[in-house]
Amino acid sequence: MVLTGGKGIRRRTAWLGAVAGLALAASLPASANWQDELGTLRIGMVSPSGSRAVAGLGKMTRAFEEAGGVPAEIFVARDSEALIRAIASGRVHYALLSATGYAVADAYCQCVEPLAAPRGVDGAIGVRGALIARRGQAMQELGRARVVAGSVDEVGPQVLALAALQDIASPGGYGAVLHSGSQSQAEAAFAEGQAEVLVGWVPAFADDRAVSRSGTVKRLEKLGIAPSELEIIWTSGVVAFGPHAVRRDIPVQLKVRLGSFLENLYNANPEIYALLEPYRGGGFKKIGAADYEAAARIAEVSVARR
């Protein structure tokens, strides 16, 4: 009985070993060959100048090849719409998107996810739309207030602020909205007394601290209005800075590599960081889809008003 049992145990052990070996053998090609299956990592970005020539294109390509462990090529889109179509259709695997660009792409195909987004040198993770008034402006007076905003075509936090006016103003609504040619022109009009309320923005931080002397308030200070004379009467949710996003169907191993590359890039290779992110010098941080809920609302309102 003992001998028979020993043989049975040995047979079972050998069988389990064979199954484990087959399972390991089956898993190794998928893990080792994802680079072959992917082929070339295709990256998309919008040209700052509108031309196909982008400074440092070769250096950026080599950096992505080293980070991803696969050949890479960069597709330079003529505008944001072309870039959104490229990642939604699968023409590119990876894209440098604006916040609303990401929201539109995600709504269109449900096929993209954010890897990381830049932060400002002051630690800002994004912005909030804001309604700014002269201090002492009562909320109930908004029904008679003149409101000045940037261009009517602007797609950003301004969209959230204008949509919110109906909710926070008096039952009669609010006064006329004057749309200027730009945010700077709107600020100048407010400083000159052409409106009682200005649509602007304030920076947003991970710890949710308020910095009243930043954003539009700081810009108004340069026009001669002290921060103590102003009051922020409403702010939106956080509109995170635009992410580096990937298609959900690329290999997980590649997502991990690229995410690590971005999060370490500021210290590891400042030159490449500056080429990829010339405006915000606080490094990349991991970010998730939930961080773009406000951006999704902007996209929704913008589409509805067309």
| CA–CA distance, 175 with 301 (Å, rounded to integer) | 21
pLDDT in tens, 118-131: 999 999 999 999 99
68-115 confidence digits (pLDDT tens): 999 999 999 999 999 999 999 999 999 999 999 999 999 999 999 999
125 neighbors 240 (Cβ within 8 angstroms): yes
Q: What is the CATH number of domain 35-120+241-304?
A: 3.40.190.10
Q: How far is CA 49 from the centre of its chain?
A: 21
Residue 269: the pLDDT is 98
Cβ neighbors of 247 (< 8 A, separation 6 or more) are 87, 90, 93, 94, 111, 112, 113
Q: What pTM does this model have?
A: 0.83
Whether the pLDDT of residue 186 is over 70: the answer is: yes
More confident residue, 140 or 207: 207
Domain range list for the chain: 35-120+241-304, 124-238
Q: Which CATH fold topology does 124-238 show?
A: D-Maltodextrin-Binding Protein; domain 2 (3.40.190)
Give the contacts of 141 (CB within 8 A, at least 6 positions apart). Answer: 170, 196
Rounded mean pLDDT of 136-155? 78
The pLDDT tens digits for 198-255 are 999 999 998 876 555 689 999 999 999 999 999 998 999 999 999 999 999 999 999 9
Domains 35-120+241-304 and 124-238 share a fold: yes
